[in-house]
């Protein structure tokens, strides 16, 4: 049985960028997350946020493709933009094509 949430610098950074917490240290983030996140979610949150952060930094093209294939691509793109993925015109061909077809996606893309 898990006793708490494992929070490293990546989980701390992403939780703050998403607006889930407003903390200055990983320990503060752990305490804040544990105060509202249901215990049944504790075992998975570290893996999910670390994986998201790694994809954002190392596999941004693949992450972008997953966002565009999501049931609500605008919301998915907004999420990855909030954690620092730069949605710039000309950087990803798939994003440019989607922006040309969908005004909501186009609004998320910077020139």
Distance CA 32, CA 34 (A): 5
pTM for the predicted model, two decimal places: 0.82
- In this prediction, residue 10 has a pLDDT band, given cuts at 50, 70 and 90, of confident
Distance linking the first and last C-alpha atoms of the chain: 48
Distance CA 61, CA 59 (A): 6
Distance CA 74, CA 99 (A): 10
Q: Residue range 67-92: average pLDDT?
A: 95
Checking if the pLDDT of 2 tops 90, the result is no
User: Which residues, other chains included, contact 34 with Cβ-Cβ below 8 Å and sequence gap of 6+?
Assistant: 4, 5, 42
Distance CA 95, CA 100 (A): 9
Handedness of CA 15, 21, 24, 29 (dihedral sign): negative
Lowest pLDDT segment from 25-39, 50-64, 88-102: 50-64
Report pLDDT for 111.
87
Distance CA 84, CA 95 (A): 16
Could you give the C-alpha distances from 101 to 6, 16, 84, 95, in angstroms and in order?
Answer: 41, 32, 24, 10
The pLDDT > 70 percentage for the chain reads 99
Supply the DSSP symbol for 41.
Answer: G
């Amino acid at each position: 049985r898990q006793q708490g949430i494992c929070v490293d610098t990546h989980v701390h950074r992403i939780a703050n960028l998403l607006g889930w917490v407003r903390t200055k240290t990983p320990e503060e983030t752990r305490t804040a997350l544990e105060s509202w996140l249901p215990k049944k979610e504790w075992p998975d949150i570290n893996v999910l946020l670390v994986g998201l952060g790694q994809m954002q930094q190392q596999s941004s093209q693949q992450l972008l493709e997953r966002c565009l294939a999501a049931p609500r691509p605008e919301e998915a793109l907004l999420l990855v933009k909030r954690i620092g993925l730069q949605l710039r015109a000309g950087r990803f061909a798939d994003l440019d094509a989607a922006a040309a077809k969908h005004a909501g996606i186009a609004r998320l893309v910077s020139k």
